[in-house]
Amino acid sequence: MKRLIVACGSGVATSTTIAERLKRKFEADGVDCRVEAVDYKSIFNELPTADIYVYIAQPDAEVLEEAEKREIPVFAGIPFLTGMGEESIYNEIVNATH
Amino acid sequence: MEIFKEIIQYILDLGSAVFVPLLILIIGLIARMKFKKAFLSAITLSVAFTGMNMLITFMSDAIGPASQDMAKNTGVSLPALDLGWTGAASITWSWAYAFVFFAIVLLVNFVMLLLNWTKTLNVDMWNVWGKALTAYLVYYVSGSLIAGFITAIVQVILELKLGDMFQRHIQDLTGIPGVTVTHLMNISAVLMLPVNKLLDRIPFFNKKADTTALKAKIGIFSENSVMGFIIGLALGFGAMYSISSSLNLAVKAATAMALFPMISKLFMQALSPLADAMGDFMKAKFKDREVYIGLDWPILAGRSEIWVTAILIVPVFIGFSLILPGNTVLPFAGVINYSIAVGGLLLTGGNLYRMLTLGVIFTPLYLYSATYLAPILTDLAHKTGAVDVAKGGSITWSSIEGPEFRIAFAEAFKGNIIGIIGAIVFLVMFYWLYKEMMKAKVPSERYVEQPKKAKGV
């Protein structure tokens, strides 16, 4: 099973909000993917075991480089909070879980 | 009537780890969640409360004796245990009235938008606990529950206005259009404003530093476990422990710091179906209107100035705690002061020199406020049974957000004349900040950039 991580500043509130929302959507749509909220400060420990990365604040350049090196697709998480553009980014993420 | 009272008392006496999840189960069922889901939420919440209690007991067993020994050896007595925001949040959620604030946050925002008094739609339902904490603090100090609720309502209004005034700046700092931050922590900008005005006159403070490289160097200190280890080790030396005991204390402190967010996450998981549904409800109601979506502060966490400031202020925070007379708090789980870092970022437009200067000046405010908060938070923990505080011990939150606002209003409602004046002055200054931020240049246009060093130099 693939592992999707959502990272925010503390790995508590915002990332968990988005992670839980994704979990519910995945469950409703029968998407098989593990979702976890993580601490952005530990992102380099998380990326090696991740398959999809959803960020809240724009990640540092070296984080993006690392994700690219590991061929981990990266998505913006803000649409899941604002509701604007949520569906299109969700569909992209679902595609990435296949 | 008597039997009714007894039933309610019986339910409250079950303790927060049973009572609050029961409440969530009932609210979930009313909101037409499936029983299975609502039950899972309720159990997760019980686990969160119990886990937090375990962790706090673990932490006080490790740190309590060491800080007592430090007091004996050095004369510096800092008995109040700092649980950070995660600890404060879990205790606040255990208050029987806490969930009422979901309704208050929604209702006040609804009215403010209908009357066109704000453009901000707050969908951050996690920080509802902050309003509940304010209400409890004011209630405890003034004795009036109504005063507590009034202050919480004022807080919701001020948070929306913070969202309005900082929206342009946040868009400039993050590049994300249409969002803002409605977190109380940014209210720290109110008292910082006059100092920032003075700094305008000093040329040094009108240059911008390149912080990205600095963040890469010191970023490791922002890891919870590393921070816990260092503080634990320092405390061990302060207590004159042997190297081996100090190292053991350091590891325990690192463990506590690393586990806090993990347990806190469980609260979020349990409450998220409820919070999400409310956010969706508000978004649907105002979907045809141009609004700024109010979010929690981590959308700003990509700004390296926040982390550089937060980390560099840590030794200042701990240093002040050792020398300030009357302070009872050793910063531990709350040692990263986001109010100073994030509020400072928005006020100064990410000017590191100013953020650090403001941070040093305002750090004592947080220590004294945490000292003020200690008996209040301890009392709430005792009442709800959320956390077992050792007899005579006390708990607090060293980087309490919006302390100037919360304490001024609490003292004002108590009838303290200084509190009344303080609250009025604070509101006037808030209005001044609003005017200033509405006309201020966005961060990217405000200062002269320092010439960037060539790569590799």
Window 32-91 of A: residues touching B by CB (8 A cutoff) are 37, 39-42, 56-60, 62, 78, 81-84
Phi-psi region for residue B75, left (φ > 0), alpha (ψ -120 to 50) or beta?
left
- Name the token pair of A44: 């380099």
* Burial class of residue B115 in the structure, from the number of CB atoms within 10 Å of its CB (0-12 exposed, 13-18 middle, 19+ buried): exposed
Residue A15 and residue A36 in contact, taking contact as beta carbons nearer than 8 Å: no
Please tell us whether the domain made up of A2-97 is placed in CATH 3.90.480.10.
Answer: no
Query: Mutate which of B184, B265, B287 to test chain A, going by most A C-beta atoms within 10 A?
Result: B265
Residue B409 pLDDT grade (very low, low, confident, very high; cuts 50, 70, 90): very high
Q: Which of B88, B97, B140 shows the shortest CA–CA distance to B381? A: B88
Give CA–CA dist B189/B385, Å, rounded: 35
**By residue range, what is the domain housing residue B66?**
2-449
Residue B1 and residue B77 in contact, taking contact as beta carbons nearer than 8 Å: no
pLDDT-wise least confident of A82-86, B1-5, B161-165: B1-5
In three-state form (DSSP H/G/I as H, E/B as E, the rest C), the secondary structure along A22-40 is HHHHHHHHCCCEEEEEEEH
**Which chain A residues are closer than 8 Å to B287 by Cβ?**
83
- Name the token pair of B131: 């309003």
For residue A79, the tally of other CB atoms under 10 A from its CB is: 17
Instruction: Name the range with the highest mean pLDDT among A81-85, B224-228, B432-436.
Output: B432-436
**Which residues 6+ apart lie within 8 Å of B412 measured at CB?**
B419, B420, B422, B423
Give CA–CA dist B219/B216, Å, rounded: 5
For B80, the enclosing helix (H) or strand (E) is strand B80-82
Phi, psi torsion values for B33, nearest 5 degrees: -75, 155
Q: What are the tens digits of pLDDT across the range B75-97? A: 889 999 999 998 999 999 999 89
Cross-chain residue pair B302–A78, CB shorter than 8 Å = no
**Which residues 6+ apart lie within 8 Å of B397 measured at CB?**
B82, B83, B84, B85, B87, B88, B334, B370, B373, B377
Mean pLDDT of B435-456: 77
Residue B241 pLDDT grade (very low, low, confident, very high; cuts 50, 70, 90): very high
What percent of chain B stands above pLDDT 70? Answer: 98
Give CA–CA dist B265/B268, Å, rounded: 5
Q: What are the tens digits of pLDDT across the range B333-372? A: 999 999 999 999 999 999 999 999 999 999 999 999 999 9
Q: What is the pLDDT of residue B64?
A: 87
Q: In this structure, is residue B455 part of a structural domain?
A: no
Residue B456 has pLDDT above 70, yes or no: no
Q: What are the tens digits of pLDDT across the range A35-87? A: 999 988 889 989 999 999 999 988 888 899 999 999 999 999 999 998 889 99
Q: Which of A20, A41, A60 has its CB closest to that of B272?
A: A20
Query: Mutate which of B272, B295, B300, B342 to test chain A, going by most A C-beta atoms within 10 A?
Result: B272
What secondary structure letter does DSSP report for B441?
A: P
Give CA–CA dist B171/B163, Å, rounded: 11
Give CA–CA dist B264/A8, Å, rounded: 14
Give CA–CA dist B122/B181, Å, rounded: 8
Give CA–CA dist B71/B69, Å, rounded: 5
Cross-chain residue pair B265–A37, CB shorter than 8 Å = yes
Mean pLDDT over each residue of chain B, to the nearest integer = 91
Q: Which of A57, A60, A83 has its CB closest to that of B298?
A: A57
Residue B215 pLDDT grade (very low, low, confident, very high; cuts 50, 70, 90): confident
What sign for the dihedral angle of Cα B383, B388, B390, B396?
Answer: negative
Q: In this structure, is residue B323 part of a structural domain?
A: yes
Q: What is the pLDDT of residue B212?
A: 79
Mean pLDDT of B412-434: 98
Window 10-39 of A: residues touching B by CB (8 A cutoff) are 10-17, 20-21, 24, 37, 39
pLDDT-wise least confident of A11-15, A86-90, B162-166: A11-15
Q: In this structure, is residue B454 part of a structural domain?
A: no
Q: What are the tens digits of pLDDT across the range B258-267? A: 898 888 889 8
Cross-chain residue pair A82–B297, CB shorter than 8 Å = no
**Which chain A residues are closer than 8 Å to B172 by Cβ?**
none
Q: What are the tens digits of pLDDT across the range B26-35? A: 888 887 888 9
Residue B454 pLDDT grade (very low, low, confident, very high; cuts 50, 70, 90): very low
Q: What is the pLDDT of residue B451?
A: 54
Q: Which of A14, A83, A84 has its CB closest to that of B298?
A: A14
What secondary structure letter does DSSP report for B395?
A: E
Residue B450 pLDDT grade (very low, low, confident, very high; cuts 50, 70, 90): low
Check if A4 contacts B (Cβ < 8 Å): no
Q: Which of B359, B361, B76, B341 shows the shortest CA–CA distance to B234? A: B76
Q: In this structure, is residue B128 part of a structural domain?
A: yes
Residue B56 and residue B91 in contact, taking contact as beta carbons nearer than 8 Å: no
Q: In this structure, is residue B28 part of a structural domain?
A: yes
The label of the residue with tokens 């606990």 reads: B129
Cross-chain residue pair B275–A17, CB shorter than 8 Å = yes
Mean pLDDT of B299-320: 91
Give CA–CA dist B223/B191, Å, rounded: 29
Mean pLDDT of B110-123: 95
Q: In this structure, is residue B211 part of a structural domain?
A: yes
Q: In this structure, is residue B444 part of a structural domain?
A: yes
Q: What is the pLDDT of residue B27?
A: 85
Provide the shortest C-alpha distance from residue B382 to chain A (in Å).
26
Q: In what order do the strands lie in the sheet with B179-181?
A: B120-122, B292-295, B179-181
Q: What is the pLDDT of residue A75?
A: 96
Cross-chain residue pair B301–A42, CB shorter than 8 Å = no
Mean pLDDT of B191-204: 95
Phi, psi torsion values for B342, nearest 5 degrees: -80, -45
Residue B449 pLDDT grade (very low, low, confident, very high; cuts 50, 70, 90): low
Cross-chain residue pair A9–B298, CB shorter than 8 Å = yes
**Which chain A residues are closer than 8 Å to B268 by Cβ?**
12-13, 16-17, 20, 37
Q: In this structure, is residue B88 part of a structural domain?
A: yes
Residue B141 has pLDDT above 90, yes or no: yes
Domain ranges within chain A, ordered by starting residue: 2-97
Domain count, chain B: 1
Q: What is the pLDDT of residue B1?
A: 66
* Burial class of residue B35 in the structure, from the number of CB atoms within 10 Å of its CB (0-12 exposed, 13-18 middle, 19+ buried): exposed
The label of the residue with tokens 């969530």 reads: B24
Cross-chain residue pair A14–B212, CB shorter than 8 Å = no
For residue B63, the tally of other CB atoms under 10 A from its CB is: 24
Q: What are the tens digits of pLDDT across the range B21-73? A: 988 898 888 878 889 989 999 999 999 999 998 998 898 889 889 988 988 88
**Which chain B residues are closer than 8 Å to A14 by Cβ?**
126, 295-296, 298-299
Residue B452 has pLDDT above 60, yes or no: no
Give CA–CA dist B362/B340, Å, rounded: 8
Mean pLDDT of B433-453: 84
Q: Read out DSSP for B112-173?
A: HHHTTS--EEE---TTHHHHHHHHHHHHHHHS-HHHHHHHHHHHHHHHHHHHHHHHHHHHHH
Q: Which of A22, A9, A90 shows the shortest CA–CA distance to A55? A: A9
Choice between B271 and B451, residue whose per-residue pLDDT is larger: B271
Provide the shortest C-alpha distance from residue B332 to chain A (in Å).
16
Q: Strands, DSSP E only, in chain A?
A: 2-8, 33-39, 52-55, 74-76
**Which residues 6+ apart lie within 8 Å of B95 measured at CB?**
B132, B136, B380, B384
For residue B211, the tally of other CB atoms under 10 A from its CB is: 18
